[in-house]
Amino acid sequence: MVLRLTSRTGQPCSYTQTLKEYGLNLIECFTLEAAHNAVNDGCRVGLLIVTQEAELAHLDKCEPFISNNKISWVGLIAQELISTPRMREFIGEHLFNFITLPADLDHIALTLRHAWGMAFMRDVQHTACAAPLAEDEDFVMVGQTPEMQRLFSQIQKVARTDATVLITGPSGTGKEVAALSIHRQSARRNAPFVAVNCGAIAPQLFQSELFGYEKGAFTGANQRKIGRIEAAQGGTLFLDEIGDMPIDMQVNLLRFLQEKTIERVGGNDSVEIDVRVIAATHVDLAEAVLQGRFREDLYYRINVVCMSMPPLADRGQDIEDIAKYYFAKFASVHNRSLRGFSKAAMNAMLSHSWPGNVRELVNRVQRATVMAEGRFIQPEDLGFERNDPHNQMMSLEDARAAAESMMIRRALSQSRNQISRAASLLGVSRVTLYRLIEKYNIRPDIVASARTPFLGNAKHDLGAHK
């Protein structure tokens, strides 16, 4: 694939014409849409041509696409542009290699073939790493949307290290599956993966469950018990819902994370522990720190690498892909006569808000494979009402209005109801934002309720508008 930043579309480059004589199959792209199509068709090497200073202005626009790690990029750069800071930064961050113009054609062809070879090896390695995940059908991550592809890329990167990871996101989005995916792609894959639900352990049992205890430590301790942390020795310790951990236990966990040693309850000996820690929570830990419900030093200790799981409602096409994946799994067990989802059922799923996220979708599909009587699953089988207005396909105008209203509310919440800041986040003027607030009848007190400590500034800002 040859990506041209020039606006003179349709004008072929002399280099690409000549390189075709070397047996290279080159696709010249003048737009990002054409480049995306080339990637979807299997292209794995890109040739970026930058010959004029005016083309540097287009780098920001194409940077998100070029940063896609599926492509190995080689640059053909004009000699006089190499010295510009922006070009040098771009080359260092995104290009596999670069060649200054004018260039020898043999050199270009050799570099492109080398880039293709590296891309091929990377694809083989990715396939090999991903293969074990398919062995356990209960822990599979399904997704083709850009959000999930970015998440898969992050998982691959952090799996190569032992850095502590914090996974955030609403309940049911698959935080434990993401943690298990990291473990299975890491060097610790053959060691234990121990999951601890911090919100399900009684406070009085927390220390003995996590750190274990010695025989005679308390009444009923008839023998030594190994705690969850020690059971994960050499592997991965997954602390689920860490935001629900009792505040008095957080200091003990912090000491373990700092010193990598524990002491069993009733014992005096320190036990060295070698584990990789992954934590997850649906709680806003930064807010919990401000409210005194979570220790600030522990927050920074676990928040080395932060990954966010997107809500299912924001994942579009993934809803259909996940539904079909679990349909194939459950139908083979419960109802082999089923052929799939009816159009009405699929529309109901695509328009549902999914407050329970992936967990809710999996449960509804499993229910449907049990309850369905015909050859195709209907909305009623999934627990939806056929004429439920919430499951009707919205018009494009209604969908646009709903999206605008949601983004305005989110921006106001993030900016603590400061209109200037919210307008900047949305990329609109203050006047436009005021007009949209009135158009969608967004009440300040509702938007502000999620950020109670900051109501003073919010009311003042919105009050000034009134």
Q: 3-class secondary structure for 202-218?
A: CHHHHHHHHHCECCCCC
- For residues 257 and 268, the answer to whether their CB atoms sit within 8 Å is no
Sort strands 261-262 and 271-272 into parallel, antiparallel or unpaired: antiparallel
pLDDT at residue 55 in the model: 80
Mean pLDDT of 15-19: 66
Q: Is the pLDDT of residue 444 over 60?
A: no
Q: Would you state the structure tokens that stand for residue 69, as one six-digit string?
A: 């790690």
Query: Can you say how many angstroms the Cα of residue 15 is from the centroid of all Cα atoms in its chain?
Result: 39
Least confident of 87-96, 188-197, 300-309, 450-459: 450-459
Q: pLDDT grade, residue 302 (50/70/90)?
A: very high
- How far apart, in whole angstroms, are the C-alpha atoms of residue 292 and residue 35? 50
Averaged pLDDT score across all residues of the chain: 81
Q: pLDDT grade, residue 16 (50/70/90)?
A: low
380, burial (CB in 10 Å: exposed 0-12, middle 13-18, buried 19+) = middle
Q: Which is nearest to 317 in space by CA: 141, 172, 144?
A: 144
- How far apart, in whole angstroms, are the C-alpha atoms of residue 303 and residue 321? 31
Q: pLDDT grade, residue 152 (50/70/90)?
A: very high
pLDDT at residue 464 in the model: 43
- How far apart, in whole angstroms, are the C-alpha atoms of residue 148 and residue 449? 30
Q: Would you state the structure tokens that stand for residue 382, as one six-digit string?
A: 């999934």
- How far apart, in whole angstroms, are the C-alpha atoms of residue 131 and residue 419? 49
Looking up tokens 């990598």 gives: 260
Go through 104-142 and write b for each residue having 16 or more CB atoms within 10 A of its CB, e for each that does not.
eeeebbebbeebbeebeeeeeebeebbeebeeeeebbbb
Mean pLDDT of 136-149: 77
Q: Is the pLDDT of residue 195 over 90?
A: yes
pLDDT at residue 454 in the model: 37
pLDDT at residue 359 in the model: 93
Q: Which is nearest to 179 in space by CA: 165, 192, 160?
A: 165
Tell me, what amino acid is at 77? I
- Pick the most confident of 248-252, 302-306, 412-416: 302-306
Q: pLDDT grade, residue 5 (50/70/90)?
A: low
Least confident of 223-227, 268-272, 313-317, 452-456: 452-456
- Whole-number Cα distances in Å, 83 to 6, 67, 76, 87, 100: 20, 22, 14, 7, 11
Sort strands 271-272 and 193-197 into parallel, antiparallel or unpaired: unpaired
Mean pLDDT of 105-119: 79
Mean pLDDT of 422-430: 89
CA dihedral of residues 225, 227, 230, 235 (deg, nearest 10): 130
- How far apart, in whole angstroms, are the C-alpha atoms of residue 282 and residue 173? 10
Q: 3-state DSSP call for residue 442?
A: coil
Q: Which is nearest to 242 in space by CA: 170, 299, 184, 306?
A: 299
CA dihedral of residues 414, 417, 419, 424 (deg, nearest 10): 0
CA dihedral of residues 116, 121, 127, 129 (deg, nearest 10): -140
Q: Is the pLDDT of residue 2 over 70?
A: no
pLDDT at residue 102 in the model: 81
- How far apart, in whole angstroms, are the C-alpha atoms of residue 384 and residue 19? 58
Of the two residues 458 and 43, the one the predictor is more confident about is 43
Q: Would you state the structure tokens that stand for residue 92, as one six-digit string?
A: 């260092």
User: pLDDT tens digit string along 233-282?
Assistant: 999 999 999 999 888 889 989 999 999 999 888 888 889 999 999 999 99
Of the two residues 161 and 438, the one the predictor is more confident about is 161
For the packed helices 419-426 and 430-439, what is the interaxial angle rounded to 10 degrees?
90
| Phi/psi of residue 203, nearest 5 degrees | -55, -40
- Pick the most confident of 8-17, 143-152, 380-389, 441-450: 143-152
pLDDT at residue 132 in the model: 39
Q: pLDDT grade, residue 133 (50/70/90)?
A: very low
Q: Is the pLDDT of residue 370 over 50?
A: yes
Tallying the residues shown for the chain, one arrives at: 466
- How far apart, in whole angstroms, are the C-alpha atoms of residue 264 and residue 270? 8
Please enumerate, as own/partner, the contacts of 323-332 that have beta carbons within 8 Å and a separation of 24 or more. Answer: 323/349, 323/361, 323/365, 325/140, 325/142, 326/361, 326/362, 326/365, 326/366, 327/365, 327/368, 327/369, 327/377, 329/137, 330/365, 330/366, 330/369, 330/370, 331/369
- How far apart, in whole angstroms, are the C-alpha atoms of residue 63 and residue 441? 37
- How far apart, in whole angstroms, are the C-alpha atoms of residue 100 and residue 81? 9
pLDDT at residue 242 in the model: 94
- For residues 182 and 158, the answer to whether their CB atoms sit within 8 Å is yes
